[in-house]
Amino acid sequence: MERKNAWTMYDETQTEAVEALCKDYCLFLDRGKTERECIKQTVEMAEKAGYVNLDTVIREKKPLKAGDKVYRTCMGKSAVLFHIGSGDIEDGFNILGAHIDSPRIDLKQNPLYEDTELAYFDTHYYGGIKKYQWVTLPLAIHGVVAKKDGSIVDITIGEKEEDPVFCITDLLIHLAQKQMDKKGKEVIEGEDLNLLIGNKPLAKSELKKEEKEAVKANILKLLKEKYNIEEEDFLSAELEIVPAGKARDCGLDSSMVMAYGQDDRVCAYTSLVSMLESRTGKRTACCLLVDKEEIGSVGATGMQSKFFENSAAELLSAMGVFSEITLRRALANSRMLSSDVSAAYDPIYASAFEKKNASYFAKGLVFNKFTGSRGKSGSNDANAEYIALVRDIMDSAHVPFQTAELGKVDLGGGGTIAYILSLYGMQVIDCGVAVMNMHAPWEVTSKADIYAAKLGYDAFLARG
């Protein structure tokens, strides 16, 4: 089934809208390289759009009604937004759900050490990465340090022009004969992904007689002076290593975006913008932005937690309609787009794809009936009836879209949050933007597809 290039379907006004949306999207990426930073922006944008904190509503015992807009966060790493519709809440929600965590490298709890007068941070990678892609790049540190007195120290180093950057070193080609014979997954070992952070020792006048690690001591001095943190404070820190630098236009025609973290912030951002711009409809609209998808959606801030279910229950309670059966009916009757990215066809690696069932740049929003691996293991396999409804929604709104699988049958594999929401009995399908270089430090997307995602999410939320 032939799909038109989306660029050919956009008129001049829409093309201008593509550029405007992607400009704001890039700013969101620059300010949101961690899940905490994404949620901070989400709250700012939501409150500007008239959303109120659901916890404030609960505390002040304010009743909610059709047209009201509320949000709630979980530990600063996940969020849910509701825009209450005019119809019966038991008819269900229209849900857009995306994840805001991305593959990265985390500092260990006891990270700082010195070796041959070089200071390093010891690390542990997060999510599925090709480890060799992370060496010799300029890297930045983002995150927080929680101190015992309850204060939180925000840290971002490596993004401003005047900031230093960091790197993970690699072996020079002249000495790498044995390394080059290794399999790709073994070229760089996980325990070797250590961040080079210093080489200058503490001044002699400041050295203690028993001090043997003067470079480490100097690093600790700098941390104390700038951030007022001690080495013990790393025990309660969440510090993430990400590529340093801004999102950029890609290509001579500036038709693409190259940036870190587009899986899955490209879907998170477009879902959020659609949610904030949505009008009061018959069905209650919902946007879910969650953490931990890249490591199995676990933990209190992952989709497997009760955060969404508890928040839905609190919403119904504030509306004065809560009962266990009402909650169950509302969730079971909901419809969801699990907004997650798909693998864009790359002709250089054509052997990994089945061309008739691959996603392509500039062919629009991608629907994956199932993900999983090999024999659909671990997938949410969407019902034909629901796909027919989604097709009608997209065609009625003139949204460019395509369908795809994640690579060849015996090669493909991957998961999303779709299967977790489907456990409530609701209709769910994976739906997102095609990404090239997925899970690499710098990923690429098509601006035409980013705009198509926004159009598709608009149409989905508006359907009664």
The pLDDT tens digits of the residues spanning 362-382 come to: 999 999 887 766 777 777 788
Structure-token pair, residue 402: 């395509």
439: DSSP letter: T
Q: How far apart are CA 194 and CA 139, in angstroms?
A: 12
Whether residues 48 and 137 fall in one domain: no
Other CB atoms within a 10 A radius of the CB of residue 59 amount to 9
Question: How deeply is 135 buried, as exposed, middle or buried, from its count of CB atoms within 10 A (0-12, 13-18, 19+)?
Answer: middle
Residue pointed to by tokens 């404030």: 56
CA distances from 227 to 36, 40, 146, 189 (A): 19, 21, 12, 31
pLDDT at 22: 98
In this structure, are 382 and 408 located in the same domain? Answer: yes
Count up the domains in the chain and report the number: 2
Asked whether residue 249 is assigned to any structural domain, the reply reads: no
Q: Which domain holds residue 272?
A: 6-102+260-462
Q: Residue 387 is part of a domain; what is its CATH number?
A: 3.40.630.10
Report the run of H or E that residue 289 belongs to, with start and end. Answer: strand 284-290
Residue 1 lies in a domain: no
Work out the average pLDDT over 37-57.
98
How many C-beta atoms lie closer than 10 Å to residue 398's C-beta? 9
Least confident of 155-164, 186-195, 254-263, 413-422: 413-422
Q: d(Cα 29, Cα 266) in Å, to the nearest integer?
A: 9
User: What's residue 373's pLDDT?
Assistant: 67
pLDDT value at 207 more than 90 = no
Tell me if 220 is assigned to some domain.
yes
Whether residues 109 and 163 fall in one domain: yes
My answer on whether 44 and 185 are in the same domain is no
In a domain, 248, yes or no: no
Domain shared by 44 and 117, yes or no: no
Among the candidates 243, 271, 305, a domain finishes at 243
CB 335 within 8 A of CB 426: yes
Say whether both 278 and 409 belong to one domain. Answer: yes
Alpha-carbon distances, residue 375 vs 72, 370, 378, 416 (angstroms): 37, 10, 9, 16
Say if residue 33 is in the same domain as residue 165: no
- Greater pLDDT, 405 or 259: 259
The answer to the question of residue 421 being in a domain is yes
Based on the fold, state whether residues 162 and 189 are members of the same structural domain. yes
**Cα separation, 26 vs 37, whole angstroms:** 14
45/260 Cα distance (integer angstroms): 21
What does pTM read for this prediction? 0.96
Are residues 287 and 428 located together in one domain of the fold?
yes
Last residue of a domain, one of 181, 212, 243: 243
- 254 in a domain, yes or no? no
Tell me if 252 is assigned to some domain. no
Task: For residues 64 and 145, state if they share a domain.
Answer: no
Is residue 69 located within the same domain as residue 117? no
Q: Are residues 165 and 40 in the same domain?
A: no
Asked if 414 contacts 406 with a C-beta cutoff of 8 angstroms, the reply is yes
Query: For residue 415, is pLDDT > 80?
Result: no
Q: Is residue 253 part of a domain?
A: no
